Chains A and B, each alone.
Chain A
């Protein structure tokens, strides 16, 4: 008899967690993981594998779990995914593997993400399984950007025996995993652990290296490297372009989260970087970044932390779990509402003027277009506003690489299957190519590019595919 619902994962209580930055879900015990693994039908079609952007052998690792062969489960997982502790926590499983799970047709799908996380956490408490590295090929690859795409590409390339150097402009590796996603959703020690594992394989990571300024892609290819992978992400915050946006108290989500996460401003003054959160905080946007920002504001002491989103609940792009956690934590969702002006007094934010929206005809994205309702303007009092409406491509590498073909939005044009760009030996993947997407999609792109780079390097000098 199959259990119809997922084995629940224990969580920190709401009352506790809104006062700390510790991780919210606490993980499965071995017995809980085995019970959940037993729900997998081991169906022959395994649609979950196709639903996974990096093609993890999901039934395979779950079968090992069911048989309590935890080490084997980890090894199977790591064949396809270098960062399981991260993906188990931040992937939108409901629209990927779990969304197509056969069991999900009748019951709740298998909690694949939770099982993945269990494996990674189990490994961190036991002897790490270091993937085998092939014999040195003598080829050298530069990876620009130590985020999900770059780290995945680096891990894969190293496994194939190439010498890999990752250049990161910030003072730590991890990219959005370090500066963007909060501690309570993805503990930084976990990211650091995954990165240490890559370094143990022989991946060399150089921080504080602003490629595009200190050296260009051209320099890298000329001096030391046989190929370059660009995974510099979508780091340029978008603003709304409405009046009052430069008032004190208006943050980009990037700045707000970077202060809190990367610079640990939630521990100011022990850490030197400050952050300011008023009694009332308004976050604009409906994605994961908006959820992260509003929940961070709550933890930093905002009595009301509100989300303003111009479409309806159905269109919220955030992961279901994030919306659920945000609601539990008392985040006030003002849907079908759009800001039109930030209101200030003496240079400081005092409120956000909004207008109500209704859904009209479908737009290019297939979603119904939000249309303002005339005369519905209203003011929301707030001392802090956080703009979380997406990011554009980080401009430094695109702007400083002559001959690199870009889209009109400034993203790098790259073949989705191989990551090949308009320049020989230069590959790209992740958000710098696709625009802001998910961690796992970036990892998938990094992985595909790594195998294309491997083929390119093995084909020899000047070869084209």
Chain B
């Protein structure tokens, strides 16, 4: 038998980014910040990993923030509404973030990565850390999780690529300034696009500040069986699904990660085009 994973609420955060609150009581009861789930929309669907953004054990729900980058995420946005159910939902998966009282920590989030960073920042704050947040958006139109994140941080620096809100530039700029200021920073979390995590890790390495990144590699089962998510960490192959998804950013081979993330680019494009073509047909009978 299969439980029912109903969408209890759906919210549009930007034209391409949506938030889903999904009924999954057992997962909600035990999930911790940093962990992820795998879901499958329907019988023909693929299994996609998504990092958990929030849980409500009382309601029995798990919150996800999904950026529509390919066929599956696009289809989820178009066709899965409040009251509908996704077919499969398994988790929690991966190791939770190592939350402890480090002192002053910096949480650097880029784009949709800000959402899964939010519960980590909150947990770090609850553990007694002084939390400095640095978040980067494309523009002020897509300030997802800004208010939640702000509430979880003691200080918040907002960057936008176009300067429409906060300062203009990338998250790596204030990160470097902060480290150069000599203020003692005990630990950095960086979650966002691979290239952002790479740049942030390179900067923190100069200052020898331990840095945790969360890797979103290609995976199928999410439990250690396929090995598709393997990444090189300090010269050792690791599985993002069971050994991670969080790793020491100073040891991750980001170039390899980026290459592996792009392996199915052609197939992903083919699948999306085909989906968009059939969606268009349905709309014009």
Where the two chains meet, the residues of A that have a C-beta atom closer than 8 Å to any C-beta of B are: 169-171, 179, 204-210, 213-215, 235-237, 239, 245-246, 248-249, 251-252, 254-255, 258-259, 262-264, 268-274, 276, 347, 394-396
Contacts and interface: CB of A to CB of B under 8 A. Distances in A.
10 contacts: A206-B1, A213-B92, A214-B92, A246-B256, A248-B259, A251-B228, A258-B220, A271-B46, A274-B268, A347-B255
B90 A237 contact: no
A207 B88 contact: yes
A206 B2 CA distance: 6
B51 to A, nearest CB: 15
Nearest to A238: B227
A235 B274 contact: no
A318 to B, nearest CB: 21
Interface string B263-278: 1100110110010000
A268 B271 contact: yes
B93 A213 contact: yes
A192 to B, nearest CB: 13
A396 B242 contact: yes
Interface string B211-240: 000000000110111111011100001000
A274 B220 CA distance: 11
B9 interface: no
A210 B2 contact: no
B4 to A, nearest CB: 11
Given A269-B274, A271-B46, 13 more contacts: A169-B90, A169-B223, A204-B1, A208-B88, A236-B225, A237-B226, A246-B256, A248-B259, A258-B226, A259-B220, A263-B46, A273-B46, A347-B255
A252 B223 contact: no
B237 A246 contact: yes
Contacts of B228: 251-252, 255
Given A171-B40, A236-B225, A273-B220, A263 B47 contact: yes
A208 B2 contact: yes
A264 B46 CA distance: 9
Nearest to B89: A208
Nearest to B226: A255
B45 interface: yes
Given A272-B45, A394-B225, A395-B242, A263 B220 contact: yes
B156 interface: no
Contact of B44 (A171, A210, A271, A347): A271
B90 A210 contact: yes
Contacts, number: 127
B250 interface: no
Nearest to B48: A272
Given A206-B1, A213-B93, A254-B225, A272 B271 contact: yes
A213 B220 contact: no
Given A205-B1, A273-B220, A214 B91 contact: yes
B224 A235 contact: yes
Interface string B50-85: 000000000000000000000110000000000000
Q: Which of A207, A208, A347 neighbours the largest number of chain B CB atoms within 10 Å of its CB? A: A208
Contact of A254 (B46, B226, B232, B262): B226
Nearest to A248: B263
A394 B241 CA distance: 13
B3 A208 contact: yes
A451 B270 CA distance: 52
Interface in B1-30: 1-3, 26-27, 30
A395 B224 contact: yes
Contacts of A252: 226-228
B30 A214 contact: yes
Nearest to A239: B237
Interface string B182-221: 0000000000000000000000000000000000000011
A246 B230 contact: yes
Minimum-distance CB pairs A-B, first 8: A274-B267, A347-B259, A255-B226, A272-B46, A252-B227, A171-B88, A208-B90, A235-B225
Contact of A255 (B220, B223, B231, B242): B220
B72 A272 contact: yes
A245 B262 CA distance: 17
A116 to B, nearest CB: 29
A268 B259 contact: no
A192 B267 CA distance: 29
B47 A239 contact: no
Contacts of B223: 169, 210, 235, 394, 396
Contact of A210 (B91, B226, B262): B91
Contact of B71 (A179, A272, A276): A272
Contacts of A347: 255-256, 259-260
B157 interface: no
A319 B242 CA distance: 32
B99 interface: no
Most interface-central of B3, B47, B274 (chain A CB within 10 A)? B47
B62 to A, nearest CB: 12
Contacts of A214: 26-27, 30, 91-92
B268 to A, nearest CB: 7
B167 interface: no
Contacts of B3: 206, 208
B271 A207 contact: no
A213 B30 contact: yes
Contacts of A210: 90-93, 223
B179 interface: no
B142 interface: no
B47 A171 contact: yes
A285 B250 CA distance: 35
Contacts of A259: 220, 226
Contact of A215 (B26, B255, B271): B26
A237 B228 CA distance: 10
Nearest to A275: B267
B44 A270 contact: yes
A271 B275 CA distance: 11
A396 B239 CA distance: 13
Nearest to A262: B220
Contacts of A237: 225-227
Contacts of B226: 237, 252, 254-255, 258-259
A254 B224 CA distance: 10
A213 B91 contact: yes
B15 to A, nearest CB: 23
A226 B132 CA distance: 49
Contacts of B260: 246, 248, 347
Contacts of B26: 209, 214-215
A165 to B, nearest CB: 9
Contacts of B221: 169-170, 179, 258
